[in-house]
Structure 1
Amino acid sequence: MESPTITLTPLAPGERAGSADFGDSGGVGVGRSAGLEAVFAAVADQLDGALAPGEVPGLSDAEIVSGLIAVESLQRKLAALQLTLAAAADARSRDRVPDLALASVYGCKNAVELLQRTTLVSASTARQRIRVGQTVVPRNGYSLGMLPPQHPHLAAALEDGALGIESAVSIAGMLDRTGKRPGSSPEALDIAERELVTAATEPVLPLHADQTRVQCGVWEQFLDPDGTLPDEEAAFMRRGFRFGKERGGLVPVSGALVPEAAALLARLFDSVNSPRTAINDNSINSTATNNSATNGETGSGSSGHSGSSVRFVPVPESIDTDTDSDAAPTDTARTPDQKRHDALAILLQTAARHPETPLLGGAPVTVLVQVTDTDLAAGSTRNDTGTARSARLHDHNGFLVPVSMSAARHAACAGATQRITQDARGRILGLESPSRVFTPHQRRAITLRDGGCVIPGCNTPASWCEIHHVTEHAQGGPTHTDNGVLLCWYHHRSLDTSGWRVRMSDGVPEIRAPRWLDPEQRWRPHHPPGKLKLAA
């Protein structure tokens, strides 16, 4: 594919800074406008003749790459004109008396609106073009005459078509921010500008826009390492977190985090979602040692032998304790955003039950879920009329919002949620009491047995898991270690719909995978990731 030959007749410098022509009727005269339209119409015609979008699928690999380079080179030339024209439009809208201001003559309140109406870009794009354009055009020094552009290296690279508008925006923004700070050095700014432009326009391996943005940040820190504090204080005042209105079963949230909080949250997300998440063996072993005398308590899961000498012995890493169930599929059912959501839910559940979390109204932080006794006792998700059974949750605004029965059943096990059972008239029939939530001693025992989420392939550690009543309390299931298993928030919340099934066999969890994973539907005993087994 041969590159088209395109000849542009540039505006003379004096014509760019000249005045508009006003006809006798008060309208704006065309001046060179008709000629410019003809020139760019000819350019468009040549482009149409060179390559039409419909012809692209028939190009060779080399022609596609050549086309990308040629079109982007032309786009950079046009970008330079976009910036300088935008700056000129703004100058002629601000530096004239109101009646003769360019924007006013065309019925616009300012240059931003003029650019929006003439180019159909967004207001933010128009402001960006004006802001950057002002720094790369000659400046009016009045008695001193015309002065060079504020950023001469940037201006030269743009005029040559060597620099893209994205990189120009990053460089100009950094220079402008740094230049406004007390003690900034014009010489140092000039060096930074020259180095950044050179790096972004190198003939071999120039920096692309993302790399240029990173380099701008490096230069900004170098030029003014202490000058970010005022900006940081202003940013700190804008921090916040907001709940939106529940719509379609979801509550939108928005806000802005300070960098250290965002980094901590991201690291916590990573710790939950990483496929290499590990159990803290030190905490498990110390728990086993410190609480070896607690397994004679009611509901602890012992066989009733007070003072049992049962001890936990680590299995050598070389011994494979499971040849079947540990070979689990990778979690591909959730998107990265969904995994981050579920990680946040785990963090919130963990924080809510932490002993150092402040009390609310003299009691631990708790979310209330209301459900009727009829719906709770029913095994199906729909009633006789086909209507979906549901519960009501007290949301963040204190209003009642409908939630699924899966959420209601989940509430019975989650320590941060309390379930209230009512009859059809609203009479309170039952309130899940703390005795129906597993005690710390029971949790430690179940942690030592399960090691983490019992669903194969899930690496969520025990400290981040919830304890699930395998046989629900409402169905007569006891709050006993023989009836509790560790599940992460996601697998606990989706247990009714995911296809995974859990049962207990002589106090040991057994798991059955969904049919699409295991057509034979075999029950497999759970083996903890910590490679632990009981020894008499």
Structure 2
Amino acid sequence: MPFATSLRESVEGLTALDALDVDASDLAASVGRLDDDTVRTLIAHAGRVAREIGVLQAVLAGVAAQRSSRERGSGGLSAETGHRTPVEMIQATTGITRAEATRAVRVGEALMGSGDAGWHGALDRLLYDGALSSAQYGAILTGLGDPPTLGCAAAWARGAERLAGEADQWSVEQLTAQARTLRDMLDPAGAEERFARRFERRSFRLWTDGEGFSRGSMVFDDEMGPWMRSVLDAALRPRRGGPRFMTDAERAEAAALVDDARSNEQLSYDVLVDVLRAGALATAKDVFGAREPGVRVIVTEAPRDGLGRHGATGIVEDGGSALPGSVVDRAHCTGGRIRIEVDAAGTPLAVGRDERLFTRAQRVALAARDGGCLWPGCERPPSYCEAHHSVPWSEGGRTDTDEGVLLCRFHHLLLHNNGWRIERVEAGFVLHAPPGSGREPVPLRSKSPLRWLWDPPPDRAGWRTAGVHARAS
């Protein structure tokens, strides 16, 4: 279908509703009187229009970039209007942010430069067909980067298609992170080099501002960033909706933290200062309370490279960022490891009905498989999740990992209180809306980068394996 025809139909579908045929100043009040289903329909229509406009903006940005090349000098399209770059011109003309203008130019340059011949040709077609927004396209393109060699182009292309097929379950920021992690899994040698370059950029700066306040700024490397986040999470988890199932002592400590008069920022400051002051002299409980912080790194069994380093890229359990094999080896020395056996479909250990609650080992296995709360669109990591029985314990359900799923506290309560249901099927788990809602069942997809181990891209069938290691540091 011609682009203009598709855009026209999308706009007509959006404007067919009488509630929008009002003055702009009355729009909010008019839409506010609509029922919930109509609002959801309008959001979907507006999204389609926004996607098509985004494609047009990206193509225009690509043309502007081509016509603003250095070779054209002062005769370039941007320079003729007094702008140094096409990014500046687009930003000034449209009123969007610099980041949005930069993304539009990057996407446009990719579209103008590759066509079907580039490794992301299939990605281009998905953008043109409306299956991807320009922001999602840019996230995948930025996260994956260019293949290190021409021989890797096919793997990059298949990885890009796979990410595009899952884009609807991620925010743009999460999709970028997923693409980066996939890049490092496809290119372990490159992951070592990228880690080293980012490690060199680590820094801490302390200064006094004009009002006499001492201020600090820190850039973390890829290993210590997740560790520091785990330190703060350990201190603030009860305030942020952490799991409810804990001992009486832990529950009392959590309640005291919730009632604490300090803000989250003040608590974070106090925790960081306590860590620095206590150093190695204090026990973890003295500083962190009920839960000791730590970063669990999950990695597959793999042969070592020519330098003796672990040959696979490790994945941080909370957040899914990648760490190279050399860091995994060091974590193994300092923190030990837990072995998890999974079958070819990714199903971990089974325990049965002997226990009502899932054990620590099972929760580690569920974290490796699910990567966080399985509810569509939820961003909660495994440490904020509770294990849910797909078949209720009271109805004979088993405390087995192949029947359990991770859900954050909010979605766990929503499921039990509002009539939602999760069913175990051959291909995984399916979420059913409350009876009478008329909504179709939604397949639940793993949010762990390790999902490619048991459902790998076509060119990486060798990833299928029966075991992974979880390493704690």
- TM norm structure 2: 0.48
If you compute each CA radius of gyration, which structure gives the higher value, 1 or 2?
1
Name the structure, 1 or 2, with higher relative contact order (CA <8 Å, separation 6+).
2
- TM norm structure 1: 0.43
Structure with higher helix content: 2
